[in-house]
Structure 1
Amino acid sequence: MTTPEHTSSSISEADRYRLLVDAVIDYAIYMLDPAGFVSSWNPGAERFKGYRQADILGRHFSTFYAEEDKNDGLPQRALAIAQAEGRFENEGWRVRKDGSRFWAHVIIDPIWSPSGGLLGFAKVTRDLTERKRAEEALRKSEQQFRLLVQSVTDYAIYMLDPDGLVTNWNMGAQRIKGYLPEDIIGSHFSKFYTEKDRIQGEPDRGLATAAREGRFEKEGWRVRKDGTHFFAHVVIDAIRGEDGELIGFAKITRDITAAMESQKALEKTREALFQSQKMDALGQLTGGIAHDFNNLLTIILSSLSIVSKHVSDNPRLSGLVDNAIKGAQRGASLTQRMLAFARSQELNLERLEVPDVISGMASMAQRTLGPMIQIETHFPLGLKGIIADLHQLELALLNLMTNARDAMPDGGRIVLAARNEYADDSDPITLKPGQYVCLSVTDTGTGMDESVLSKATDPFFTTKVVGKGTGLGLAMVRGLIEQLGGTVVIRSVVGEGTSVELWIPVATAEGEHNIAEPAATVKNDATSTPTLRVLLVDDDALVLTSFCDMIEELGHTVLTAASGPDALDILSREPAFDVVITDYAMPRMTGAELAEAIHLEWPKLPIILASGYTQVQIPSYLTRLPKPIDQAQLKKALSEATRGTER
């Protein structure tokens, strides 16, 4: 029996090599004679070149080359190099029997006889088509990625080496930061940081964080080549090799300055809206309180006015009543400030020339402010006129000048100035576009810091000690100016002083058309108003009683109604009234609604509307009676309403 050892030993060395070559199917291994003709062929060559041994033996190996390579003489050159240098190695396209191409790695070694003669060539070829395709795909992908990065202009995308030096630079980086590649490659990326950030170690801290945690992200100010600043969103990612070693960093920067400014503008708008809503709500509340307070003052003043006539022969009681009346009148002044803040006060509008207003009150203001205050006035020629309430404007200016004096305890200078201004949509001051007169009161006092300045016109806010201020002064000024269609601007620097600007619309033909004609002078004699039959309407029983007493004290007869529907019911049954007096703010039916219903049914019946505030223009057929009411005002209103209607 033949043992394996015996079989193996019976195979010659040449046979073993032939068996080895024939077993290889992943490589084409074959021989060429000295002229390049194929003299042997293994299964690997047959597998990926497609030729059977019988088809290819005796044919020149240039059969496997592409036509362009044959024309270029590559096959002959390969043999010549192998013979001259002992080896030829190359990669290139080769052609299979079916005409398809494959990417081949080729090695040609010369074979020499013991005597030194050339016997031929050993040729080993490997099919690397798949690798070539993968490399080509990778190359194409890298090229596309490189083009993608280079084409991005909204982001600065670039690489840093482990020390933070810039190694490449895309178009976005060039656009955002202003550097050309030749200007910046090789420079440290800290060049983009502000001096303050560099001193504080921000660039190194960013790289250290990215190296430690894999990523660093932050927003902050950065510097362009021209020195301008932009607000940036920055991401730094660490790049590591397969062995984990830090290769460098990928850095992406985006200019978000516009987005940040838009966000700030949005927040500012939201804050302004919130503040406006808050002030409107507070104004409505304040106006409502003032209305109720006016009702109470009407009761007090009407009662005191009646009492004062009956104690005139008693000096002590008369003095007490007079003091009480003065106290109630001070309360009425306070309600006027509250209504001014709520932009709901009655205004007697007229055309005013600002220099005339200041000249008229200058001497009085100097006496009020004292000798330690120096008052200066600066008014240009050609200053335009305004439409305002003279008394309220003077009160506002006096209030501002008093505040200025209080800010200068050791004395100082107050400058009253005015100038023509034009506001448009680009103006930071929120005003309708148009012409304005800017009236300013400037002092050299202690000034206000940002915290105080932001609250200066808020109602009931004051820096004075308890009992020395109501906190309604600047709120009243602001309410008045806004009611006139303008605005108040306050500028202040701590230690240097404060300037309060009142922007008031310039008088126009349309505005002057809305000015009410001045009422004719009413005589105060007893015959100016005959005995009248009055229908009095008010939902407040105390006001109704006091008001009724005041009317009767003037010698008139009164019938009362507690609501608008009750008043209409009385009028339908007893139409013989000379005048109707109705409160403005009533439930179920307001005074204005009642007045409209009466005017439609009884158009010749005079109507007086009593109110401490209103934000609507009343029809011309109504006479307005401001609250709180005293007898003189009541008498005047009755005379105006019934003039020409006496029976």
Structure 2
Amino acid sequence: MDQFHFPSDESEIYRHIVESARDYAIFAMDRDGTVLTWNAGSENLFGYTAGEIIGQNSAVIFSFEDQLDGVLLKEIRLALATGRAGDNRWHIRKDGSSFWASGLMMPLRNDTGEVYGLMKIVRDRTLRLHEDEALRASEERLQLILKSAIDYAIFAIDSEGRIISWNTGACRIFGYEEGEILGRDARILFVAEDRNGGALEREMNAAAEHGRAENDRFHLRKDGSTFWGSGLTMPLRAQRAGYLKVLRDDTERHFAEEHQQIMLREMSHRVKNSLALVAAMLAMQARSAKQEEVAQALRDAEARVGTIAEVHDQLWRQPQIETVDLADFLSSLCHRLQQSTTRHMMSVDADPCMVDADRAIQVALLVNELVTNSVKHAYPDGTGTVTVSARSLGEEIVLEVADCGKGLPLEVLSPENGGKSLGMKIVRALVQQLKAELHMENRQPGTGFVIRFPREA
């Protein structure tokens, strides 16, 4: 194995370091600026070989304007007076091209402290200059966009909630001019309830944790009036900590949606009452029917209509009429089914989970059919427990209806034969609408129906 000997002379080590530094121009000059040494990095950066430049005045690497201004001599005087002279300027290569450089000049002293020359270190920073210029231009364009965005209030707050920037849109929406709002607490833009409840703090914490925090609430103008603002808060991760808040006045849309909710709730309430009337009429017909088969068919129809009515009853009571809490809804539905079959016990165990109204109706009809099937066929002596459960598993919901009765005949469990009864035909049709998977299990004792379906259509 080859042996490499580390130089014992410290000056030899420094010479190797300087000569090996190809990304930095490092050269020495006398007090008049005449080049004395020239490393490989200098040749790489300026284009002059050591033989071409040593002995020449280093002013040749300065621009014509800087030569006229005596910049080299000014640097030398500053370095001799203070021990260093930093600079950022354009320099000239041998081929006449220019580049932006960061430089540092320092005096060289001998063992007695006497200055015998100066050393200059130069690095090409042209790319950094262009990046900085592009960033400044981008920031200027962004500021222009922010200032001209009159439909959106866009402002920044520091980590304490004080307002540090304010655009034209914020002036228009809130009524405060930039000069009177900068430095003030952003909590003055919140209504008293949200201000006292720490709404701004929650927004900042959520934005810091998740990268953004959406918020829809009433805000307060300078004149004391309120408006409904839809906003977004994002953390600032640049020079200083803080948050950027963007919001728009959505009062008109908010009240339009509220009116729509009221109308939908009223409509759902009326549909529920109409369906309840239909169910009552079916019940009357069932009681007056001469044949038991006809009476049972009418009772089944009454139960199905009543189930749909139950969904609409839940809908008009919900804060958001488009969705239903599956746990509350199944509890209410099974309570109604329990009242119609007092000899059986209904057990419900469901996770809280919001589903849209259409899927709620499909799930309700499924549960009605399967519970009715268990009540009719599972227990020959007429008593027993039927269990309904629903589990929310990510983007999927698993619904199960089970009993501990005598179990289903094998022909019903067969996919080819399981759709002969009207109830099972309805079950399979609903499963298809839900884009679900149906598994029928003969558990000995009892039967289990397991339906897996996506949370959203």
Confirm whether residue 176 of structure 1 aligns to residue 173 of structure 2: yes
- What is residue 243 of structure 2 aligned with on the other side? 249
- What is residue 226 of structure 2 aligned with on the other side? 229
Residue 4 of structure 1 and its aligned partner are, at CA, apart by 5.7
* Partner SS state of residue 218, structure 1: strand
* Partner SS state of residue 163, structure 1: coil
Query: How far apart, CA to CA, are the structure 1 residues paired with 2:4 and 2:187?
Result: 76
Query: How far apart, CA to CA, are the structure 2 residues paired with 1:121 and 1:60?
Result: 13
- What is residue 91 of structure 1 aligned with on the other side? 88
- What is residue 620 of structure 1 aligned with on the other side? none
Confirm whether residue 77 of structure 1 aligns to residue 79 of structure 2: no
Residue among 53, 68, 71 paired with 2:50 = 53
Query: How far apart, CA to CA, are the structure 2 residues paired with 1:23 and 1:166?
Result: 52
Query: How far apart, CA to CA, are the structure 2 residues paired with 1:8 and 1:197?
Result: 73
Residue 37 of structure 1 and its aligned partner are, at CA, apart by 0.9
Deviation sequence 1:409-458 (CA, Å, 0-9, x none) = xxxxxxxxxxxxxxxxxxxxxxxxxxxxxxxxxxxxxxxxxxxxxxxxxx
The aligned amino acid for 1:148 is I
**Structure 1 unaligned runs (5+)?**
279-647
Residue 15 of structure 1 and its aligned partner are, at CA, apart by 4.5
- What is residue 259 of structure 1 aligned with on the other side? 253
Confirm whether residue 193 of structure 1 aligns to residue 190 of structure 2: yes
Query: How far apart, CA to CA, are the structure 2 residues paired with 1:105 and 1:139?
Result: 19
**Structure 2 unaligned runs (5+)?**
272-457
Residue 47 of structure 1 and its aligned partner are, at CA, apart by 0.3
Query: How far apart, CA to CA, are the structure 1 residues paired with 2:204 and 2:40?
Result: 58
Q: Do the aligned partners of 2:23 and 2:123 also contact (CA within 8 Å) in 1?
A: yes
Q: How does 1:109-120 map to 2 (within 5 A)?
A: 109-114=106-111, 117-120=114-117
- What is residue 42 of structure 1 aligned with on the other side? 39
Query: How far apart, CA to CA, are the structure 1 residues paired with 2:257 and 2:152?
Result: 20
- Taking a change above 3 Å as real, the CA distance of residues 190 and 45 of structure 1, as seen in their structure-2 partners, is same
Query: How far apart, CA to CA, are the structure 1 residues paired with 2:184 and 2:41?
Result: 55
Query: How far apart, CA to CA, are the structure 2 residues paired with 1:43 and 1:57?
Result: 13
- What is residue 161 of structure 2 aligned with on the other side? 164
* Partner SS state of residue 51, structure 1: coil
Residue 271 of structure 1 and its aligned partner are, at CA, apart by 10
- What is residue 217 of structure 1 aligned with on the other side? 214
* Partner SS state of residue 140, structure 1: helix
Larger radius of gyration, structure 1 or 2?
1
Query: How far apart, CA to CA, are the structure 2 residues paired with 1:215 and 1:92?
Result: 41
Residue among 50, 61, 66 paired with 1:64 = 61
How many pairs are equivalent?
270
Deviation sequence 1:137-180 (CA, Å, 0-9, x none) = 22222232222222221111111222222121111111111111
* Partner SS state of residue 146, structure 1: helix
Residue 240 of structure 1 and its aligned partner are, at CA, apart by 5.5
Deviation sequence 1:567-625 (CA, Å, 0-9, x none) = xxxxxxxxxxxxxxxxxxxxxxxxxxxxxxxxxxxxxxxxxxxxxxxxxxxxxxxxxxx
* Partner SS state of residue 218, structure 2: strand
Residue 181 of structure 1 and its aligned partner are, at CA, apart by 1.7
* Partner SS state of residue 164, structure 2: coil
Q: How does 1:125-144 map to 2 (within 5 A)?
A: 125-144=122-141
* Partner SS state of residue 167, structure 1: strand
Q: Do the aligned partners of 2:7 and 2:13 also contact (CA within 8 Å) in 1?
A: no
- Taking a change above 3 Å as real, the CA distance of residues 55 and 168 of structure 1, as seen in their structure-2 partners, is same
- Taking a change above 3 Å as real, the CA distance of residues 199 and 58 of structure 1, as seen in their structure-2 partners, is closer
Residue among 123, 147, 150 paired with 2:144 = 147
Deviation sequence 1:282-339 (CA, Å, 0-9, x none) = xxxxxxxxxxxxxxxxxxxxxxxxxxxxxxxxxxxxxxxxxxxxxxxxxxxxxxxxxx
- What is residue 577 of structure 1 aligned with on the other side? none
Query: How far apart, CA to CA, are the structure 2 residues paired with 1:208 and 1:135?
Result: 32
Q: Do the aligned partners of 2:23 and 2:41 also contact (CA within 8 Å) in 1?
A: yes
The aligned amino acid for 2:250 is I
The aligned amino acid for 2:225 is T
* Partner SS state of residue 168, structure 1: strand
Please, what TM-score do these two structures have when normalized by structure 2?
Answer: 0.52
Residue 44 of structure 1 and its aligned partner are, at CA, apart by 0.6
* Partner SS state of residue 129, structure 2: helix
Query: How far apart, CA to CA, are the structure 2 residues paired with 1:20 and 1:217?
Result: 56
Identity of aligned residues (%): 33
* Partner SS state of residue 163, structure 2: coil
Residue 18 of structure 1 and its aligned partner are, at CA, apart by 3.2
Residue 202 of structure 1 and its aligned partner are, at CA, apart by 3.5
> Whose RCO is larger (CA < 8 A, sep 6+)?
1
- Taking a change above 3 Å as real, the CA distance of residues 98 and 13 of structure 1, as seen in their structure-2 partners, is same
Q: How does 1:225-374 map to 2 (within 5 A)?
A: 225-239=222-236, 247-261=241-255
* Partner SS state of residue 186, structure 1: coil
- What is residue 323 of structure 1 aligned with on the other side? none
- Taking a change above 3 Å as real, the CA distance of residues 195 and 24 of structure 1, as seen in their structure-2 partners, is closer
- Taking a change above 3 Å as real, the CA distance of residues 249 and 57 of structure 1, as seen in their structure-2 partners, is same
Q: How does 1:602-613 map to 2 (within 5 A)?
A: none
Query: How far apart, CA to CA, are the structure 1 residues paired with 2:196 and 2:3?
Result: 86
Deviation sequence 1:16-37 (CA, Å, 0-9, x none) = 4433322221111111122111
Residue 38 of structure 1 and its aligned partner are, at CA, apart by 0.9
* Partner SS state of residue 101, structure 2: strand
